[in-house]
């Protein structure tokens, strides 16, 4: 598979007709879950972000991690596909319903409700792809750096809490301890 990605970088730019043919071949490969055919289509000039991120969105709809990984490594933009899915979800016509405490927006039609559910699943899978590929494809040095940054943030937050606590103790007036102190019995006595 490593040679496949090196070949994509060296492949010549195809013309528009060939790109359309390769995009069709890419969609067929995704539908049939054929990774070899997908790689051939990408080598032939298929665009992994064609039609508003449709290839990655199809992989998310059908839960095909390996094909999505091939698309991402070939230059597919997962953030773009996720953005397009979210925009499509927001474009569903809705009405606002209010209760005593909550108000929420629901799709007007039954088709809108079904589409909202399907897009919700698609968005969740795309986010899962994003998390999985970020954790599994980043080099270990970057993962270690991220871990160190998180640890430093945790340490900084802990130190800030300690400083805030110390400042509160300084600023807060302390009550006088009257239990152990006794008042003088005969008033003040002066010694000559």
User: What is the full per-residue pLDDT of the chain (192 aa) written as tens digits?
Assistant: 545 545 555 555 667 777 888 889 999 999 999 999 999 988 888 888 888 889 999 999 998 988 988 888 888 888 899 999 999 989 888 888 887 788 778 888 889 899 999 999 999 999 998 888 877 766 666 777 888 888 999 999 999 999 999 888 888 777 767 677 676 666 666 666
SS3 107: strand
Q: How far is it, in rounded angstroms, from Cα 81 to Cα 75?
A: 12
Q: How far is it, in rounded angstroms, from Cα 105 to Cα 112?
A: 12
Q: Which helix (H) or strand (E) holds 167?
A: helix 140-171
CB–CB of 109/93 below 8 Å? yes
Q: Which residue has the tokens 């340490």?
A: 155
| Best CA proximity match to 46, nearest among 74, 84, 82, 5 | 74
Output the pTM of the full model.
Answer: 0.60
């Amino acid at each position: 598979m490593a040679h496949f990605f090196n070949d994509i970088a060296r492949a010549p730019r195809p013309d528009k007709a060939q790109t359309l043919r390769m995009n069709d071949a890419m969609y067929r490969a995704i539908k049939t879950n054929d990774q070899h055919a997908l790689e051939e289509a990408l080598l032939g000039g298929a665009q992994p972000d064609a039609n508003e991120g449709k290839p990655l969105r199809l992989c998310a709809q059908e839960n095909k991690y390996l094909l999505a990984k091939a698309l991402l490594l070939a230059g597919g933009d997962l953030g773009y596909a996720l953005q397009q899915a979210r925009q499509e979800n927001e474009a569903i016509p809705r009405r606002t319903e209010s209760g005593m405490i909550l108000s929420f927006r629901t799709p007007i039609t039954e088709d809108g409700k079904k589409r909202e559910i399907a897009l919700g699943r698609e968005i969740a899978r795309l986010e899962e792809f994003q998390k999985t590929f970020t954790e599994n494809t980043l080099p270990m040095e970057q993962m270690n750096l991220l871990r160190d940054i998180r640890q430093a943030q945790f340490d900084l937050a802990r130190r800030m809490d300690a400083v805030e606590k110390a400042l509160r103790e300084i600023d807060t007036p302390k009550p006088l301890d009257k239990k152990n102190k006794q008042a003088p019995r005969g008033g003040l006595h002066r010694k000559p």
